[in-house]
Structure 1
Amino acid sequence: MSVKKISTVLALALMVSGGAVAGFAAASIMHVGSDASGSVSKAQANVIVGKLTHHQARVTQVFKGPAGLTGVIISGQQGPVVSWITNTKSAVIVGGVVDTKTNKNLTMQASIRYLSKPPATFQDKPSAQTAPLPVSPKPVLASDTTMQGPDGESLLRKFIQASQSGTMVQVPQPGLTGPHTLYAFVDPNCIFCHKLFDEVQAHQAEFQQAGVRVVYVPVAILKQSSIAKAAEVAKEGWPALLRDEQRFDVNSEEGGIAGLSGPALSSYARIVQGNTDWLKNLSAANHTGEGTPFLVWQAGNGRAYFLGGFPSEQGLHALFASMQPGWSPKKK
């Protein structure tokens, strides 16, 4: 993957606080106006980030990235986040970098490596807090352990309970029925959410055969237009979500609806913010980068699980299997 192809691999934004990191604007690339070339040191990165954020954030770590990028861990008021600085020191990428050959989200991988606690394998006896992993290309489920305190699995369970109570605005996939539910946090401008949506449509028969309902949870984290579009989905439900996905512009990574405005936006934006708060809290509790899609379900062993990203077809079958009664994770 060459430096010239960087513009083709920008995707899923993993930005805190609805698309900003301690002073960063909601954008995928922020120019800093330097033409110097070469790798970026921690000191240089701090100068760049300090200038962009008015010294509200600082770089705590740097590491080698793909295609000449330098990975940086930026810490601000909302916590650490993985970002990237180009080898010319002319731009900072706050968001997802995806390898076009492997389709792997390199930002997510870096978040797991540098921001998470070491992952634990499945064990016979429950242990203390563990860090889960996202799926690509095979599903790696959150560790079969009991999380301590109001985080981790307990928070996943609370979300499922809140979802079942009818107090949250969600969008079920029409035509899918069964005893199992897959909850999917989606941003209307998220290209990976769009891919997940297409995957569900392509495999509806398999979802139905496995008895799996899909319930979309609209959130807004990627762009300034996300809140208005997510609000329209919250207000109109499936028809708005369908229009957004059918008219999705993959080149600009823009959902196909205009979004609400005026009093209606003010009303439904509060609902979307509540959903987004759930996503933020679940991501923080499970030590993952805040991104979409974010999937949550209850497995056959009664435990709550999550997946950051969208599964391959093989991973989808493994996910179905995990929901069936009597399932238990393989011990390593």
Structure 2
Amino acid sequence: MDKSISGLSALISAAFLFSATAHASGGHSEIIRQVTDRGLKVVSSFKAVDGMTGYVLDSKGSPVTIYVTRDGEHAFVGTLIDKNGANLSTPKVQELFIDAKNQQAWSRLEDSHWIQDGDPNAETVLHAFVDPNCPYCHRFRTAASPWINAGKVQIRHIVVGVLAHDSVAKASTILGSKKPHGALIKNFETFRSGGIVPVNDASERGKSGVEPNNRLMSELGVSATPGIYYKDANGNVNMRLGLPPESEFQQIMNP
């Protein structure tokens, strides 16, 4: 069973006590209502095997799958597999929850406070949550430099302050600078010696950008930096936490 699902067993099992009432109240919608009344949100439904209806629900940012029987009297939560062991739930979670969530996130990222790094006409565009004190963000920018310098990739750095006591001040100084990209590169070039030194005036100006960036990072459930959003060859939005391995890095830069 999925890790996110196991913690919900007590909450959801209570809903199944209402199975008799559900039958008298018009089928499976009553069972699902018992679950949504406890805080889960229905993302989408789909036709499952043997006349069952599957539901993908959102539990505080994590997907949960529930299957309601044909007669609407019973339901179970978890992963559905076939006789060969193939996971039938994962493709639906990917399509209806993860892909949809990432696509919605892309629009919010475009409206965030980001710094353009690279050719604005580059074929590949990435959005990345970065902290001025993040060593993996520094390594990510270093590895991406050949693609940026060749005009093939544009990284939109969404600067946040989440890692260290001076991260907010540094991030605010970068965003509040008269030349934000120059400040970003200065932090990159001086990273090993401590990075950019906070400047009060710039920091005060930049807070209005860093604070909403921090909130956006939290709301999207991005738990580490760099938090990288990119589109694959089919135009689907993907998200990668942390520094990608070399094999994956190539795919991100050359979708």
Task: State which of 220, 235, 243 in structure 1 corresponds to 2:186.
Answer: 243
Corresponding residue SS for 1:145: helix
Structure with the bigger RCO (C-alpha within 8 Å, sep 6+) is: 1
What is aligned with 2:244?
Answer: 311
What is aligned with 2:206?
Answer: 268
Consecutive unaligned residues of structure 1, counting only runs of 5 or more, are 1-114, 129-143, 285-289, 324-332
What is aligned with 2:197?
Answer: 258
Return the offset for 1:116: 9.8
Structure 1: which amino acid aligns with 2:96?
T
1:145 counterpart = 2:95:
yes
C-alpha distance in structure 2 between counterparts of 1:275 and 1:282, whole Å: 11
Percent identity, aligned pairs only, is: 20
C-alpha distance in structure 2 between counterparts of 1:226 and 1:126, whole Å: 38
TM-score (norm 2): 0.58
Alignment of 1:281-300 (within 5 A): 281-283=219-221, 290-300=223-233
1:127 counterpart = 2:57:
no
TM-score (norm 1): 0.46
Q: Which has the larger radius of gyration?
A: 2
C-alpha change, 1:274 and 1:301, in structure 2 (3 Å) is same
RMSD: 3.3
**Does the CA contact (< 8 Å) of 2:148 and 2:154 recur in 1?**
no
C-alpha distance in structure 2 between counterparts of 1:213 and 1:181, whole Å: 5
Structure 1: which amino acid aligns with 2:246?
E
Task: State which of 216, 227, 230 in structure 1 corresponds to 2:171.
Answer: 230
C-alpha change, 1:282 and 1:199, in structure 2 (3 Å) is same
Consecutive unaligned residues of structure 2, counting only runs of 5 or more, are 1-61, 65-77, 81-85
C-alpha change, 1:270 and 1:123, in structure 2 (3 Å) is farther
Alignment of 1:1-332 (within 5 A): 126-128=91-93, 144-147=94-97, 152-164=98-110, 167-175=111-119, 177-204=121-148, 208=151, 211-236=152-177, 237-249=180-192, 254=194, 256-261=195-200, 264-283=202-221, 290-321=223-254, 323=255
Cα deviations by residue, 1:189-217 (Å, 9 ceiling, x for unpaired): 011111111111244467x4xx4321111
* Count of aligned residue pairs for this structure pair: 174
Structure 2: which amino acid aligns with 1:294?
G
**Does the CA contact (< 8 Å) of 1:122 and 1:145 recur in 2?**
no
Structure 1: which amino acid aligns with 2:108?
A
More helix by share: 2
